[in-house]
Amino acid sequence: MTRPPRRARVSSVSVTAEGIAARSRREVVLDVAFDGRRIYSFWLHRDGARQPSGTWLVPWPQAIRRFLDGTTRLTLTVHETGQVVHDADVTLGRGQGRIAVENKAGQPLSLDKSLRLVQTFDNRSEENVRPLLDAIDHVLAGLKDAGIDAFLAYGTLLGAVRNGRLIGHDSDADLGYVSRYEHPVDAIGESFRVQRALVAAGYRITRYSGLAFKVDVVESDGHVRGLDVFGGFMRDGYLHLMGEIRTPFRREWVTPLGRATLEGREFPVPADTDRFLTATYGKNWRVPDPAFHFPTPASTHRRFDGWFRGIRTGRPQWDRHYSKRRVPGDEPSELARFAAGREDPATPVVDLACGTGTDVLWFARQGTPATGVDFVRRGFEAAEELAESEGLAAGFLTCNFLELRSVVATGGLVGVDPGPRVVLARHLADNVDRRARRNAWRAARMMLQDGGRLYVEFLAQRGDGGLARRERARIRKPAMVARELRAAGARIVERETVKIPRAGRGGGSPTKICRMVATWE
């Protein structure tokens, strides 16, 4: 990995609507500040494109483009030496006022090393940092009770060891631990048990992979902070630490843990922090680099992907979708009406991938006991509250169709109540991959142990209506879905393809959905 030299000569700086351009023969990290406040950093050569004039143009990061409308005093500083290479007012867009990179509440934002908009520590006062330190203590204590000696890892460790401070351009805190086990299966099993112990102790956990999860800590002002806990293990003389490290290492360089001071408080750190940070950031870890990218070898990615990952495919888009509170609609789906028209209203309904829970509430309000199942809890939160306040026979369960144990436990929990059932899977098959579909049919089979029917609906032809976009659906071949259902032991008793009429005008290519009714009787 190349590092910026001690003395870089930066010249010909220009700021335009496209981005920031500058000339430097050598690679250099530059900090960009608006009105005296750091917004982001970049590597001139790595992140830029060479222009015919010999300068390097680094385009504005996507995340801040929407703010670039107005005037600001733009300061460009060589990160390592503090040398200011540009400091002048610039006007971008047509805006009249000052450029303000902040959230709706007026809190200043900047970009982290992955160029995401965050509240980084350099914007945060001491009273803002204290809750983070409390959160670290809280999670470390929870892990300790679960039998895990965790330590500061990644950027948090770097800040603590380098100068005892949180790194200004960082936005979160990372913890790590090295398992006493040496086989991936055992390390995953331990991670599951630790999660269970933390949940039992009242912590809220989101699992990233078989060996890493996030612990949510609710701070006094209601702000939810997620601390990442990266599991690791030793194997064949290598340290493996999610999600980036695989390097020759010795256990005694990790444990017994040492101590380091962070913002005036002591925290556990690996025994040999120099070796540990070298494994993470290379031998130049002492030189600050706010635009650092992990140069993880492809072989490490392959190993970690194969052993531990694949349980969150497609999830980020739904987390983003539900990051806004969404309320259930008033009208049920066509599939809900279709099923209700054929089934006894006393037969309980389960809606797989229930989203906001619209259909669940609709069934429950008519006296049909209904359960909604989805992998994003936030999606059905509002429906859950409504069901409770209206005293409805409606319940909701979180289930990740990419986690076998989640699927089997959910199928078992629903199936344990005897009697036939109606299971709906609307726009599930066209949203998830083959593995998740196989698990969804597995769950349906468990739920329909005592009879009943599964109603599946999915996009079969995209057409030029808005349905595919609205439902984020990809087309699926009916023959393929039928084959999968049969492979799961189902018998398909009905199958139809329905054209969706387009509002307002005729012609064009129609959107088509496929409906199937299956049974395990």
Closer residue to another protein (CB): 100 or 409: 409
Name the one range near another protein by CB under 8 A: 152-160, 192-200, 219-227, 471-479: 192-200
CA distance 183 to 215: 24
- 213 counts as binding another protein under rule CB under 8 A: no
* Residue 214: CB minimum distance to another protein, A: 14
Contacts (Cβ under 8 Å, ≥6 apart) of 468: 459, 462, 474, 475, 511
Closer residue to another protein (CB): 308 or 338: 308
Helix (H) or strand (E) holding 362: helix 358-365
CA distance 451 to 382: 31
Closer residue to another protein (CB): 368 or 400: 400
Tell which positions 297-356 bind another protein, by CB under 8 A. 302-303, 305-308, 310-311
Binding flags for another protein, 251-290, as an x/- string (CB under 8 A): ----------------------------------------
- Judge contact between 291 and 29, C-beta under 8 A: yes
CA distance 122 to 489: 57
Closer residue to another protein (CB): 61 or 226: 226
CA distance 37 to 34: 5
- Judge if the upstream peptide bond of residue 243 is cis by omega within 30 degrees of 0: yes
Strands ordered across the beta sheet of 49-50: 11-15, 19-23, 56-59, 49-50
- Judge contact between 136 and 142, C-beta under 8 A: no
Closer residue to another protein (CB): 417 or 464: 417
Tell which positions 171-190 bind another protein, by CB under 8 A. 184-186, 188-189
* Residue 198: CB minimum distance to another protein, A: 9
* Residue 213: CB minimum distance to another protein, A: 11
* Binder of another protein out of 237, 345, 367, 412 (CB under 8 A): 412
Closer residue to another protein (CB): 213 or 455: 213
Total residues binding another protein (CB under 8 A):
35
* Residue 179: CB minimum distance to another protein, A: 12
Closer residue to another protein (CB): 92 or 187: 187
CA distance 427 to 430: 5
* Residue 403: CB minimum distance to another protein, A: 6
* Binder of another protein out of 207, 235, 462, 472 (CB under 8 A): 207
User: Nearest CA to 99 among 118, 73, 78, 80?
Assistant: 73
Rg (CA), the chain: 27
- Judge contact between 512 and 463, C-beta under 8 A: yes
Closer residue to another protein (CB): 68 or 408: 408
- Judge contact between 156 and 166, C-beta under 8 A: yes
Strands (DSSP E) contained in 16-64 are 19-23, 29-34, 37-43, 49-50, 56-59
Closer residue to another protein (CB): 121 or 308: 308
* Residue 193: CB minimum distance to another protein, A: 8
Closer residue to another protein (CB): 226 or 329: 226
Name the one range near another protein by CB under 8 A: 41-49, 253-261, 288-296, 391-399: 391-399
- 210 counts as binding another protein under rule CB under 8 A: yes
- 400 counts as binding another protein under rule CB under 8 A: yes
* Residue 477: CB minimum distance to another protein, A: 23
* Residue 442: CB minimum distance to another protein, A: 13
C-beta neighbour count of 348 within 10 angstroms: 19
Would you list the DSSP string of 79-125?
TTT--EEEEEEEEETT--SB---B-TT--B-EE-TT--EE--GGG--
Closer residue to another protein (CB): 204 or 462: 204
- Compute CA distances 52 → 36, 47, 387, whole Å: 31, 17, 64
CA distance 71 to 88: 10
Tell which positions 414-473 bind another protein, by CB under 8 A. 416
- Judge contact between 44 and 36, C-beta under 8 A: no
Closer residue to another protein (CB): 264 or 306: 306
Binding flags for another protein, 91-120, as an x/- string (CB under 8 A): ------------------------------
Interacting residue ranges for another protein, rule: CB under 8 A: 184-186, 188-189, 192-193, 195-196, 199-200, 207, 210, 302-303, 305-308, 310-311, 397-400, 403-406, 408-410, 412-413, 416
